[in-house]
Amino acid sequence: MTQATTRLSSRFGDFGGMFIPEVLVAAHNELEEAYHAALADPEFGEELATLQRHYVGRPTPLYFAERLTAEAGGARIWLKREDLAHTGAHKINNALGQALLARRLGKPRIIAETGAGQHGVATATVCAMLGLECVVYMGTEDMRRQSLNVFRMKMLGATVAPVDSGSKTLKDAINEAMRDWVTNVSTTHYLIGSVIGGHPFPTIVRDLQSVIGKEARAQMLEQAGKLPDLAVACVGGGSNAIGLFHPFIEDASVSLLGVEAGGHGLGSGAHSATLVAGRPGVLHGAHTYLLQDDAGQILETHSISAGLDYPGVGPEHSWLKASERARYTAVDDRQALDGFKALSRTEGIIPALEPSHAIYQALEEARRMRPDEDVLIGLSGRGDKDMHTVADALGVTL
């Protein structure tokens, strides 16, 4: 299990790789071996499929948003309803799969980082279900913004470890989780929450999230009778977007559009639009686009949505950008709130602030498209967790 073999490609074009301290290499290699063994083991696939169905509630619906379509007045708009998955976001797809892998590795302790708290909640949830110890690192700024999720994690039996360094957000939570892992690697699995990190994490997390796009592709064919012309998803680390996009990569007729957080605007410097405004570098184990200064120091980011507030991005997205298979754009805080309101009022679905970015941009795109064209939005999570943030932004005191 400690062989240094690389059976999966560790690269996406020039991006990806395994830029990690030597102390963690064995654990990465061991994870890759375990993942291969799991893929070859029908029992693993069956257990994952059973839990996806009966615990997570998969397949999640594909919903034709008729009134949102009418509001845009262009292409038909479809929502892939990851907000209806257990715990209210797509994060559970990855958490469940990795927790099953950790159990195969014989590691009784799980650590995770979280930004919006959705990955922390998903991880705490599957750890409760599988009887694993769970510690979630979370920036104190995010704990303030997402106090409801902090409480949810505690109710689920997890320990929430506050991180007060740097910008006190997702990046710093990842740093602290990595320090924990460096120290406790023999007993602990780091259940990383997005398609980031050193190889094999971006590949494993992408595979686990690809259930979104696989289902959506089949559902589009069944319900719309055709593939979408455009698939749109928000991108922070990029796991829901890669999960939606990946099964469509070979479908040349399907355009892929990732929407990053424009924060206060790209000119303000206070944003998280890594692919739109960054340049390649190495952070958290991968060669990928980063928001960094001229000297290679990582910049602080801002977004109204804690889940997008990250200065890096999954390396496969960097490759999709470089190869021009996908395009990426940014939507600012105010526009995201417009997307949030539009979906809430036309469809009775309150989205999380993260996919609200995708909704805004999808409306813009749909408006310019023909009525016989189809836009598929990855609705990655529900908005209950964001009500305080939205109320604040709208000047309402709850």
Partner 1 sequence: MSQRLKDTFARGKAEDRTLFMPYITGGYPESFETVPLLLALEAGGADIIELGVPFTDPVADGATIQHANEVAVANGTTFQDCLEFVREARSRGLAAPVLLMGYYNPVLSYGVERAVADAATAGADGFIMVDMPPEEAGDFVALCGRHDLSFVPLIAPTTGDSRMPLATSTADAFLYCVSVTGTTGQRDSLPPELGAFIERVRASSPLPIAIGFGISRREHVEAVGKLADAAIVGSAIIAAIDAAEPERRAERVREYVEGVTGHN
Token readout for 136 is: 């979630």
| Residue 298 contacts partner 1 per CB under 8 A | yes
| Residue 21 contacts partner 1 per CB under 8 A | yes
Among residues 8, 25, 128, 227, which is the contact residue for partner 1, using CB under 8 A?
25
Strand spans (E) along the chain = 11-12, 15-19, 62-64, 76-81, 109-114, 133-139, 159-163, 188-190, 230-234, 255-263, 279-283, 285-290, 326-332, 374-379
Sign of CA dihedral 275, 204, 140, 182: negative
| Of 312, 311, 334, residue with least CA distance to 264 | 334
- Shortest Cβ 278–partner 1 spacing (Å): 12
Which residue shows structure tokens 């184990």? 285
Token readout for 3 is: 């062989």
Q: Active-site residue 113, yes or no? A: yes
Strands 255-263 and 326-332: parallel
Q: What are phi and psi of 204, to 5 degrees?
A: -65, -45
| Residue 106 contacts partner 1 per CB under 8 A | no
Among residues 53, 144, 179, 334, which is the contact residue for partner 1, using CB under 8 A?
179
String of contacts with partner 1 for each residue 144-173, x by CB under 8 A: ---------------------xx----x--
String of contacts with partner 1 for each residue 255-284, x by CB under 8 A: --------------------------xxxx
| Residue 72 contacts partner 1 per CB under 8 A | no
Total interface residues for partner 1 by CB under 8 A: 40
Q: What are phi and psi of 6, to 5 degrees?
A: -115, 105
| Residue 4 contacts partner 1 per CB under 8 A | yes
- Shortest Cβ 32–partner 1 spacing (Å): 12
| Residue 27 contacts partner 1 per CB under 8 A | yes
| Residue 183 contacts partner 1 per CB under 8 A | yes
| Of 190, 199, 304, 316, residue with least CA distance to 256 | 316
**Cis before 228? omega within 30:** no
| Residue 187 contacts partner 1 per CB under 8 A | no
Active-site hit among 71, 113, 215, 347: 113
Q: Active-site residue 385, yes or no? A: no
| Residue 397 contacts partner 1 per CB under 8 A | no
DSSP letter for each residue of 200-256: THHHHHHHHHTHHHHHHHHHHHHHTSS--SEEEEE-SS-HHHHHHHGGGTT-TT-EE
| Residue 344 contacts partner 1 per CB under 8 A | no
Q: Which residues are catalytically annotated?
A: 91, 113, 380
Interface positions with partner 1 (CB under 8 A)? 2-4, 6, 10, 17-27, 29, 165-166, 171, 175, 178-179, 182-186, 281-285, 290, 292, 294-298
